[in-house]
Amino acid sequence: MKRSIWLAVTTAALVTTGVAAGYPALAGYGAGGGTAASPEMLAGMQRDLGLTASQARTRLDQQESANRAAGALGGDLVASSWFDPATGKLTVAVSDADAAARVRAAGAVPRNVTHSAAELSGIARNIGRLAEGGSAGVASWGVDARSNSVVVSVYDTVAAADFTARAKALGDAVRVETVARPFVQQTGVVQAGDPWWPGTESNCSVAFAATDSSGGRHFVTAGHCTNDANQAAYGKNSSGTKGEQLGTSNVGGSRSVNAREGDMGVVAVNHANAWTLSNSVNTWGGAAVSVNGVAEAVVGTAICKSGNTSHWTCGTVTKVNESVDYGNGLIIDGLSETNACSAGGDSGGAYVMGTGATAKAVGIHSGGGNGCGQSDPNTIFQPVSEALTKWGLTLYTGGSTPTTAPPTTGTPTTAPPTTRPPTSQPPTTAPPAGRTFTSTQFGFIPDPGTLDSPVTSTAPGSAAGTVTVKVTASHWCGSDLEITLVGPNGAQYPVKQAGGSCTSYNGGTYPVSGVSSPAAGTWTLRVTDVKAWNFGNLSGWSITV
């Protein structure tokens, strides 16, 4: 059963971006990029951002350059960056001369600040501890790189007085803002933005189609729309109203999260009816926009949303990686905010950046205000990359539609090995060519916590006794990182141990010996940050089997 929970307007937080080595930059979608901007994206930006067609094209070109600049920065500086529409540049908060030089070398603009990113992140974590269990009148909190502060949003100054006083006691870097009204976690061919119905409940919206390593068909949507296990899911008919069953929501009860981890879930498109997948996004009146990859939101960039109720609306990203308090003890971390308006029934809908051949899937709609008639139409979305990574899914980007239905239960048919296979027989020759498989999916490593990144191998036969793993990552403190390779049969092999000196980490190439596994199937790189206070990202990795 979906829950409708009031939420106040959220606040700023640690800025993230999705452009680094192995993460696709939003290239070639503006006036000078070589690919014409879609009329629907331009029209939405003109209507909702107050831009002319020429200004909208210029904005897209500027955002392309900003994303490329972000790709040249390390994870620590990316986390302190934002797009400044006034200058058309990526701007980065820095607290020392070396960082400023790195920013200039990347083509971005440094801004000297008093408080370092590590200091602000520590304050935000302490505020999160204050809020454990819920705090009346408090909406959210997080680092705002643009103001070099930690912002706490409250919607009831009387109820939040005690919390505000305790937060301010943490230091002069804390800023408290009052917001006008609460949000709600909105209820309500498989195409992004189209409606779908969980059982007999009111509709939600489709985010993006995806496939698993076995060819199973799915789509991702909001977790608060999918919290009933094995619930029938219905699609729209030709008139746009509830039609035939298309599949099963939250198969096995393990494919929905509506908690600290996020607001995300999966619907398996496994019904016998002939439902197919599409990589297009419904623009509600214009030509559909097709997505061909995944991106992370960057503060200040233009973004558009598709949902069943408010349809196609555009705005800018205002905050990312924020902690949101939905009330009743429900706090969700890692959400992002935009001023593209929304309404009930949009939950689970799609957020898109870029246009033309470079349009990227960005987010899954989580919550918002009471409709699009507000003066402050701020809305919340869940980064789609986290949902895909968590459940080992790949964004569907077109081509032939998979027809293999996934299992109807969440229980594996065989248990994975509980011990590592013997390591006594490493190979005497290198693995054959043509057996290298690569992931370019970008993801932030939880601090502390674990990020799983899957790669699907189609190589025949058995894997080599020693496989080669190449990791592209950025982290402030390499000694905090532990990296493990998980084989298709569930066996685990150490790649990198935690420990040593706390110096920056930029990945590496590792021979992993003692492997005993089929070559084909899903290999997972498991990256664990074992300590708090330092952070980073995984930009991609490859395995030669």
The sign of the torsion formed by the CA atoms of 405, 409, 410, 415 equals: negative
Q: What is the mean pLDDT of the chain?
A: 79
CA distance 182 to 292: 35
- Under 8 Å between Cβ of 506 and 496: no
Within 10 A of 238 (CB to CB), how many other CB atoms are there?
6
pLDDT number for residue 195: 93
Within 10 A of 389 (CB to CB), how many other CB atoms are there?
21
pLDDT number for residue 445: 85
- Under 8 Å between Cβ of 523 and 438: no
pLDDT number for residue 24: 31
Describe the strand order of the beta sheet including 89-94 as a list of residue ranges: 81-84, 89-94, 109-112
Place of tokens 């200058």: 87
CA distance 426 to 515: 8
406 by Cβ neighbours in 10 Å (0-12 / 13-18 / 19+) ranks as buried
**Secondary structure (3-state) at 11:** coil
pLDDT number for residue 73: 79
pTM score, whole prediction: 0.63
Catalytic site positions: 224, 263, 347
pLDDT number for residue 91: 94
- DSSP β-ladder status, 256-259 and 242-249: unpaired
Residue 448, preceding peptide bond in cis (omega within 30° of 0) = yes
**Helical H runs in 383-542?**
384-390
pLDDT number for residue 351: 96
pLDDT number for residue 430: 37
* Token pair in block for residue 252: 């096995």
Segments in the chain below pLDDT 70: 1-37, 74-76, 132-135, 159, 180-188, 272-274, 356-358, 369-371, 373-377, 399-434, 533-534
Catalogue all structural domains in the chain, each as residue range(s) with its CATH number: 189-281 (2.40.10.10), 415-544 (2.60.120.260)
End-to-end CA distance of the chain: 44
- Under 8 Å between Cβ of 30 and 66: no
CA distance 544 to 156: 56
Q: What is the pLDDT of residues 112-134, one digit of tens each?
A: 999 888 888 888 888 877 776 66
pLDDT number for residue 1: 54
Place of tokens 């908690």: 259
